[in-house]
Copies of this chain bind each other. A is one copy, B any other.
């Protein structure tokens, strides 16, 4: 255990679990530690400070430990500039590259700290012209200079809010045994508050929103101004349009009968849009007069429809190249402060990968495994609600409208 480094951490180390996790990581990775100094915040709002000497048996092990501690907010005591290395080819990365978390991150560069732009998990930090940018592997170009190691990198993980709120208390709960109606109320209140404070809300939706009959509730939320971005796939849009044109989704009518016209209406709906050239045109021509896509376009709410191999068609607005679709999603998510994920594992996890940890993230699904997997894949800030979107969303839309009107009267 001759390889040694000294790190420091500040903040709510105890009640945010950060110190526990740090010591855990050291031991899990086979290292040792000595706590040099520890001053605990004596009162609730006082920060703590710790200085730890970390030991590893060789350099790779020590570096691994430092990397993990870094992700928890630890920084080396002896501050140097971040080290950079050059990429040998497009999408070819140097050994020991720094892989980002989804937390706010700073690097020491030319003696001072600069914030890394576009915070997002599992990316590299490219430094260019004095700016540092979070860059996904597929955008790495030969010759890019990227951060390697943890020297000169500082991460600021979110501290858990202490107030009594949906996000403070339920953190990560996925149990289905919660008082649902009360949770609707709390979520509605968060949504209304977010808009009042100028936040932006993204809805990430699967086609089950339409199948379960919740599409008019979602349309209402969009019309009422509570959704500022829609991320979905071809299926959601096609089912929504099918419902507007033929009253069915995947050939199932509003009463839940799977009898009329089968899958054909689905193809007709797409064909109808092809004839107009785009969803936008079809709406301008008056073919479609309501629904999720209608409200997006009528209210100038941007949307990204990403392609998948399950798609029929797809519709003209769908981005069939998945790399381009992901880039479009990433670009559209800038400035989003709240994400409502509903009934989609694919889009939820893909979006989770693009979000900074500061975005309030709620994942609503009847299948608990969607929520579990989202968190397993790194979107640790997500709150899971295991419920039936078909009854949950209508109640939510009504509650939001009621609270919003009250808020407007009071304002």
Chain A interface (Cβ within 8 Å of chain B)?
A: 14-15, 17, 19-20, 23-25, 27-29, 32-35, 38, 40-44, 64, 67-68, 71, 88-93, 95, 97, 99, 121-122, 124, 136-138, 162, 164, 169-170, 173-184, 186, 208, 211-214, 252, 254-257, 259-264, 266-268, 270-271, 274-275, 306-314, 320-326, 329, 345-347, 349-350, 353, 366-369, 372, 376, 378, 386-392, 394-395
Inter-chain contact A211/B14, CB cutoff 8 Å: no
Contact (A259, B28) CB under 8 Å given A14-B23, A20-B17, A275-B88: yes
* Chain B residues positioned under 8 Å from A175 (CB to CB): 372, 376
Given the complex, which residues of B lie within 8 Å of A28, measured CB to CB?
Answer: 169, 257, 259
Closest to A39 in B: B38
Nearest 3 pairs of A and B residues by beta carbon: A180-B390, A179-B213, A387-B388
Residues of B within 8 A of A353 (CB): 310
With A33-B43, A181-B391 given, name 18 new contacts (CB 8 A).
A27-B162, A34-B43, A64-B260, A89-B274, A91-B270, A97-B267, A137-B267, A177-B208, A178-B212, A181-B214, A184-B391, A307-B322, A314-B322, A345-B345, A346-B346, A367-B369, A387-B390, A388-B392
CA distance in complex: A347, B391 (Å): 25
C-alpha gap A372/B175 in the complex (Å)? 8
Contacts of A308 in B (CB 8 A): 308-309, 322, 346, 350
| A88 / chain B contacts, CB cutoff of 8 Å | 275
Q: List 8 A-B contacts (CB under 8 A).
A: A14-B19, A34-B43, A122-B263, A177-B208, A179-B213, A179-B255, A321-B321, A387-B391
Q: Is the CB of A310 within 8 A of B259?
A: no
Interface residue from B261, B268, B368 paired with A64 (Cβ < 8 Å) = B261
